Amino acid sequence: MRDQPIKSEELDPNLKLEVIAQEAACDVTACFCCGTCTAGCPIHAVYPEHDPRKITRMINLGMRERALSSPYIWYCDDCYLCEKHCPQNVKFSSLWAVLKNMAAKEGYPPPVSLNQDMCSGCGICVASCPYSAIELQMQNERRVAHLVTNLCQGCGACAAACPSAVISVNLFEDEQIFAEIEALAA
């Protein structure tokens, strides 16, 4: 994550309780950071920064800002391998959904951008979103797509379906993508 010291005045001891209280949540306090989730994660194999164990530790320590502002909460592709291997039965996919919703509600938006000026208002993105996170709204007397940030999970279905290419999911910087391509070509 970030190589910064943990400051006790920045810790929120209620964070883990808030996470546990969410309808879809799991008991993150059951995690003892064995690393089985991380070892089995296909995203971690490509992007070592994505470490479910570290995010869980942040929650248990009360590191609200670091956990909710982390881009890594958006990386999960719901393959459930972490859950399958977890000896404590921590439901990481549910945890990611809870964190994404909390992040959006607290002003840490998903890594999705939408150019409303170029939007044709066709509604294909609305139909393709499995989370109902895009709506068509009237803006300057025309229909345009609008992102409902607290519902968006950053999956990219809308971006893939958009015929106007006005939606993008920015999980990775261009430099990261180019480095991965170069590593594969080598």
Do 99 and 169 belong to one domain? no
Give the structural domain span for 79: 8-105
Rounded distance between C-alpha atoms, residue 8 and residue 61, angstroms: 10
The candidate with the shortest Cα–Cα distance to 86, out of 43, 27, 15, 23, is 27
Rounded distance between C-alpha atoms, residue 34 and residue 99, angstroms: 21
Handedness of CA 155, 158, 162, 164 (dihedral sign): negative
Rounded distance between C-alpha atoms, residue 145 and residue 125, angstroms: 8
pLDDT, position 24? 66
pLDDT, position 167? 92
Whether 3 is in a domain gets the answer no
> What is the number of structural domains in the chain?
2
Rounded distance between C-alpha atoms, residue 30 and residue 91, angstroms: 10
Of 120-129, 155-164, 169-178, which has the strongest mean pLDDT?
A: 120-129
3-state secondary structure of 111: coil
Instruction: List the end-to-end C-alpha distance of the chain, in Å, as a whole number.
Output: 28
> Tell me, what amino acid is at 105?
K
Rounded distance between C-alpha atoms, residue 59 and residue 66, angstroms: 9
Last-in-domain residue among 63, 86, 105: 105
Last-in-domain residue among 56, 80, 105: 105
Last-in-domain residue among 88, 105, 122: 105
**In this structure, what are the phi and psi dihedrals at residue 142, rounded to the nearest 5 degrees?**
-145, 155
pLDDT, position 36? 92
- pLDDT tens, position by position, 1-21: 456 778 888 899 999 999 998
pTM of the model: 0.71
Handedness of CA 166, 171, 175, 180 (dihedral sign): negative
Within the chain, strands assigned E span 112-114, 134-139, 142-147, 167-169
- pLDDT tens, position by position, 50-68: 888 999 999 999 999 999 9
Rounded distance between C-alpha atoms, residue 102 and residue 105, angstroms: 5
**Residue 127: CATH number of its domain:** 3.30.70.3270
